[in-house]
């Protein structure tokens, strides 16, 4: 099973990271993404890492939120679990349903918007 290993998730972000991962996982498995519900699930500090072009943002960031949602929803990835192995480090487990599966950079971005660093992505 492919794994993205991460580190440096701040203590104040852990619960919200898990909550957002769970929402993405459920949305993906049900093939129903409610972008507004997902947007509201992200805390303000994580929202600032995205651009919402539909809200008139002018900040230059790597991902427009709707492009990120599209990349996640259209990827051939099935999210399995998010595990913390220490205070700030852990792994995100998933299955690639095809190759190429797409969505790997978008999945890494989920770690990054919560302040984490991707240490390893063995799907690449």
Is 59 inside any structural domain?
Answer: yes
SS (H, E, C) the chain: CCEEEEECCCHHHHHHHHHHHHHHHHHHHHCCCCHHHHHHHCCHHHHCCEECHHHCCCCCCCEEHHHHHHHHHHCCEEEEEEEECCCCCEEEEEEECCCCCCCHHHHHHHHHCCCCEEEEECCC
Is 70 inside any structural domain?
Answer: yes
pTM of the model: 0.88
Is 124 inside any structural domain?
Answer: no
Q: Which tens digits make up the pLDDT trace of 16-47?
A: 999 999 999 999 999 999 999 999 999 999 98
Total domains, the chain: 1
Is 121 inside any structural domain?
Answer: no
Full residue range of the structural domain in which residue 38 is found: 3-115
Is 20 inside any structural domain?
Answer: yes
Give CA–CA dist 124/113, Å, rounded.
20
């Amino acid at each position: 099973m492919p794994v993205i290993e991460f580190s440096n998730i701040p203590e104040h972000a852990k619960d919200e990271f898990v909550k957002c991962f769970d929402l993405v996982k459920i949305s993906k498995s049900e093939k129903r993404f409610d972008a507004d519900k997902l947007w509201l699930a992200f805390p303000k500090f994580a929202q600032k890492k995205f651009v919402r072009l539909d809200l008139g943002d002018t900040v230059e960031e790597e991902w427009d939120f709707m492009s990120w949602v599209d990349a996640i929803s259209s990827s051939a990835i099935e999210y399995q679990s998010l595990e913390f192995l220490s205070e700030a480090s852990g792994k995100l487990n998933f299955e690639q349903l095809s190759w190429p599966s797409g969505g790997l950079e978008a999945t890494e971005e989920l770690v990054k918007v919560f302040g984490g660093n991707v240490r390893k992505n063995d799907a690449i």
